[in-house]
Amino acid sequence: MRDDAFHAYFERHHASLSRLAYLMTGESEVADDLAADALTEVWRHWERVTAADDPVAYGHGIVMNLARNWVRRRSRERLLSFGSLRRGRDTDVPAVLDVRGALRRLPHRRRACVVLRYAFDLPEREVAAVLGISVGAVKSSTSRGAKQLAELLGDHVRIDGWEAAR
């Protein structure tokens, strides 16, 4: 029974967990690894997950924590190696790179709120549950993150009904 329930959870949410990890890290290979690690943690704590009010939010929370830790480790590695001075080429179009780069420049909580609200279309209450913060903190972080993102992206940006001009 447990195996079947977990398998169903895996099938339904693996892609979503991987997308979330990708949006938080900007690295597709890392995102797949983080999603796999998150699902391993979901399996290890399956009783807690199924007892949670929102098992999907539980999985999203694990991904957010893993992504935050990965970003911190990566930042330390870059500082130590001065690798941030060298810039690799990406084959994506400039607009995609601009959004990725702008997202990376947001503080973690703002980035998390913006990604969960706009890319995953989660209600504020669910974002609060995933991140373990209040709904008010979600509202202010999302607002500040959207504003900062608009400033980073340029003259005229529209984010899900929210428009900003520089």
Provide the domain count of the chain: 2
pLDDT score at 92: 47
Report the distance separating Cα 42 and Cα 61, nearest Å.
10
Same structural domain, 45 and 111:
no
Q: Are residues 19 and 84 in the same domain?
A: yes
Report the run of H or E that residue 18 belongs to, with start and end.
helix 2-25
Question: Is 113 exposed, middle or buried, given 0-12, 13-18 or 19+ CB atoms closer than 10 A?
Answer: buried
> What digits encode the pLDDT tens for the residues 95-134?
555 777 888 899 999 999 998 888 888 889 989 988 889 9
Give pLDDT < 50 ranges for the chain: 79-89, 92, 156, 160-166
CATH number of the domain at 58, please. Answer: 1.10.1740
Shared-domain flag, residues 38 and 99: no
Q: What was the pLDDT predicted at 166? A: 36
- What is the reported pLDDT for 78? 55
Phi first, then psi, for residue 163 (nearest 5°) are: -120, 140
Six token digits for residue 91: 């084959």
Domain-ending residue, one of 88, 103, 124: 88
Amino acid code (one letter) for 107: P
Structural domain span for residue 143: 90-166
Residue 100 belongs to domain with CATH number: 1.10.10.10
Query: Is 107 found in the same domain as 69?
Result: no
